[in-house]
Amino acid sequence: MYFALQPASAVLSDINSDLIDCYQAVQKSPGEIDALLSDHQSRHSKSYYYETRAIKPADPIERAAWFIYLNRTCWNGLYRVNRRNEFNVPIGTKSAVVLHSDNFQSISRMLRGAKILNQDFEMALDSTKDGDFVFVDPPYTVKHNLNGFVKYNDKIFQWEDQLRLRDAVVRAATRGAMVLVTNANHQSVREIYKGVGRQMVVDRASVLSGSAAHRVRTEELTICTWLKQTNEDEEEPPNRYLAN
């Protein structure tokens, strides 16, 4: 969303310190990241992947390149850590570490106006003001999770967090911020955002799955706090839109 809109100034925040450190390193040192990725590319192999995965560099620039290297070569670009916060995704099928589309210098320029912060969403949302546009893209936890991946996710972003997020979104909207939330199109999520704004269902291609058969179209819910729900009193599902 940030790169699509390219606002003159913005705050980007996430609780994942490796992700935020990576953005900060790309913002400040794009040339070094480029060089380190070329080095990873020339050494990439199955054994190099697992050796590299096991040792998180202390240096922030090396850690950023390490993070991008693992993200590009692991299974389906998945991000998952164990209870000790160690990245534990196995190697994937892709071996391109340096991509033709890479342009870290340009990304760095685009990030010039961004304040990049490692913080909880409540802190980020509570600092928004009247007239701010806020894009919120939380993990998709629903009230009764049965699937293993979501169940794992549930431990790090619990249902209580969804409620805490909804409350922070309402506070921001009440102050006059325009908040766009994406979430799972699930009854429990639709329920907690009732009356908060307009709910719309967006249909898109699902990219994260091991087998092509499971990479089907999936639905997401969006909530725009500055718009009025058109069918608030009806039992009808929200309006449907096609994203891509």
Ligand X SMILES: C[S@@+](CC[C@H](N)C(=O)[O-])C[C@H]1O[C@@H](n2cnc3c(N)ncnc32)[C@H](O)[C@@H]1O
Q: In the complex, which residues of this chain contact ligand X (CB under 6 A)?
A: 14-16, 19, 120-121, 137-139, 157, 161
**Cα 227 to Cα 182: distance, rounded to the nearest angstrom:** 15
The answer to whether the CB of 215 falls within 8 A of the CB of 167 is no
Q: Least distance (Å) from ligand X to the CB of residue 170?
A: 17
For residues 39 and 122, which CB has a smaller minimum distance to ligand X in the complex? 122
The answer to whether the CB of 204 falls within 8 A of the CB of 218 is yes
Q: Is 46 exposed, middle or buried (0-12, 13-18, 19+ CB in 10 A)?
A: exposed
Q: Least distance (Å) from ligand X to the CB of residue 179?
A: 14
| Phi, psi for residue 114 in degrees, rounded to 5 | -100, 135
For residues 32 and 161, which CB has a smaller minimum distance to ligand X in the complex? 161
For residues 14 and 102, which CB has a smaller minimum distance to ligand X in the complex? 14
Q: Least distance (Å) from ligand X to the CB of residue 16?
A: 4
Q: Least distance (Å) from ligand X to the CB of residue 161?
A: 6
**Cα 72 to Cα 80: distance, rounded to the nearest angstrom:** 14
**Cα 54 to Cα 86: distance, rounded to the nearest angstrom:** 8
Q: Least distance (Å) from ligand X to the CB of residue 98?
A: 20
For residues 35 and 208, which CB has a smaller minimum distance to ligand X in the complex? 208
For residues 51 and 137, which CB has a smaller minimum distance to ligand X in the complex? 137
For residues 137 and 232, which CB has a smaller minimum distance to ligand X in the complex? 137
Q: Least distance (Å) from ligand X to the CB of residue 59?
A: 22
Q: How many residues does the chain have?
A: 244
Q: Least distance (Å) from ligand X to the CB of residue 87?
A: 13
CA distances from 71 to 94, 95, 145, 222 (A): 10, 11, 26, 27
- The runs of H, that is alpha helices, within 29-147 are 30-43, 46-54, 60-73, 104-110, 121-126
For residues 13 and 229, which CB has a smaller minimum distance to ligand X in the complex? 13
The answer to whether the CB of 30 falls within 8 A of the CB of 108 is yes
